[in-house]
């Protein structure tokens, strides 16, 4: 029988300290993420993500718009971090992903208190949104929160622009990884993310995530407890090369991967600078993606995907 208790509850104190010390060492000459800005964040210098020594939190709440296994009847306890390390030009949260102006710098003690508050409100999990640039702060905050009674699963909700070595620091801490697969090829990654190495690094990071936690496991209430959940955002003109991502997931991750195919793209942020981004996703685009997923042997689609498809088919 699979043990469903969160990993971090069993992590020895000495291992916690090693992970936290190692994570913070990346901030001195910051190479925490693939940007490798080389600023001294311990002295509050800022690089691409605009975060210094402390994490910036834009908002936190019980969120009901996430995937069904993350929400249940009580919601996912989401913590939105500001100043994303990826910086998509079309981001739907552009105001917080490209700026920290409206966010609040928090200590690790503050962050731990937010986690405990969300747990008290009934959250199914703690969902770290855009966490790649604040992993050290998150690790320290989890340790503090655990000592004060945190017991629910932890979700690493990322754009997948992560270093494998940093993901390895999260082993036996994070229960559920939720990467968003964006562009499969380097050219659109360079243009829209300013990160031509995104495809290569995202694939490596996702493989490591799956190695740690395996396929998504649900409890008797159909709530996610451990495992990998992949999102894929459909892009206009198939700029994301959806079929390539589906093939990669089926062949190199697992055909039993829980997948959310998202048709919610709309032009946001700086998308109006790029005519090819000033479109939305059609029903035909969405249906083709779902059909391709099935052809690849990927049948564990988020129920919102299937419900939306049935709605269109019955119109």
Residue 310's pLDDT is what?
A: 45
Please give the pLDDT value at position 2.
52
Q: Percent of the chain beyond pLDDT 70?
A: 95
Q: Report whether pLDDT(315) > 50.
A: no
What's CA 144's distance to the chain center, in Å? 22
309 compared with 145, residue with greater pLDDT: 145
Cα 284-89-80 angle, rounded to 5 deg: 95
pLDDT tens, residue by residue, 182-193: 999 999 999 999
Residue 101: CB partners within 8 Å, gap ≥ 6?
none
Q: What is the pLDDT of residues 235-294, one digit of tens each?
A: 999 999 999 999 999 999 999 999 999 999 999 999 999 999 999 999 999 999 999 999
| 104 band by pLDDT with thresholds 50, 70 and 90 | very high
Structure confidence at residue 304 (pLDDT): 61
Contact 173, 7 (CB under 8 A): yes
28/87 Cα distance (integer angstroms): 22
Nearest one of 123, 132, 137 to 156, comparing CA atoms: 132
**pLDDT at residue number 267:** 93
* 289, 234 contact by CB (below 8 A): yes
Domains and their CATH numbers in the chain = 7-313 (3.20.20.70)
pLDDT at 81 over 50: yes
Place of tokens 């959806």: 242
Q: pLDDT for 16-31, tens place per residue? A: 999 999 999 999 999 9
Q: Is the pLDDT of residue 307 over 60?
A: no
What are the percentages of helix, strand and coil residues in the chain, rounded to 5? 40, 15, 40
DSSP structure class, residue 268: -
In degrees, rounded to 5, the angle at the alpha carbon of residue 176 between the alpha carbons of residues 166 and 12 is 65
Predicted confidence band of residue 215 (pLDDT cuts 50, 70, 90): very high
Cα–Cα distance, 62 to 26 (Å, whole number): 31
pLDDT digits (tens, 9 = 90+) for 116-144: 999 999 999 999 999 999 999 999 999 99
Strands (E), 35-174: 55-63, 76-81, 104-106, 126-129, 154-158
What confidence tier does 303 reach under pLDDT thresholds 50, 70, 90? Answer: confident
User: Residue 4's pLDDT is what?
Assistant: 79
Average per-residue pLDDT for the chain: 94
CA–CA gap between residue 92 and residue 216 (Å, rounded): 26
Residue 260's closest CA among 93, 71, 9?
71
- With beta carbons less than 8 A apart as the criterion, state whether 190 and 196 touch: yes
> In angstroms, rounded to a whole number, what is the distance separating the alpha carbons of residues 239 and 187?
10
């Amino acid at each position: 029988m699979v043990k469903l208790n969160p990993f971090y509850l069993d992590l020895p104190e000495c291992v916690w300290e090693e992970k936290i010390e190692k994570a913070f060492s990346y901030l001195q000459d910051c190479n925490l993420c693939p940007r490798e800005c080389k600023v001294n964040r311990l002295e509050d210098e800022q690089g691409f993500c605009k975060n210094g020594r402390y994490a910036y939190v834009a908002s936190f709440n019980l969120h009901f718009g996430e995937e069904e296994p993350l929400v249940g009847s009580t919601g996912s306890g989401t913590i939105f971090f500001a100043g994303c390390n990826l910086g998509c030009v079309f981001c739907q949260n552009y105001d917080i992903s490209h700026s920290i102006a409206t966010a609040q710098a928090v200590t690790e003690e503050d962050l731990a208190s937010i986690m405990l508050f969300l747990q008290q409100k009934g959250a199914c999990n703690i969902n770290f949104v855009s966490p790649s640039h604040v992993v050290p702060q998150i690790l320290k905050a989890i340790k503090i929160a655990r000592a004060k009674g945190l017991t629910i699963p932890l979700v690493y909700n990322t754009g997948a622009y992560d270093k494998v070595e940093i993901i390895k620091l999260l082993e036996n801490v994070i229960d559920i990884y939720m990467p968003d697969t964006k562009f499969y090829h380097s050219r659109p990654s360079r243009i829209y993310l300013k990160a031509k190495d995104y495809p290569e690094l995202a694939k490596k990071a996702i493989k490591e995530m799956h190695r740690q936690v395996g396929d998504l496991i649900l409890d008797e209430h159909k709530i996610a407890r451990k495992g990998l959940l992949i999102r894929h955002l459909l892009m206009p003109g198939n700029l994301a090369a959806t079929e390539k991502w589906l093939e990669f997931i089926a062949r190199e991750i697992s055909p039993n991967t829980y997948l959310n195919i998202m048709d919610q793209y709309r032009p946001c942020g700086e998308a109006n600078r790029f005519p090819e981004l000033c479109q939305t996703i059609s029903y035909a685009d969405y249906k083709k993606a779902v059909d391709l997923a099935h052809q690849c042997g990927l049948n564990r689609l988020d129920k919102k995907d299937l419900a939306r498809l049935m709605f269109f088919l019955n119109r």
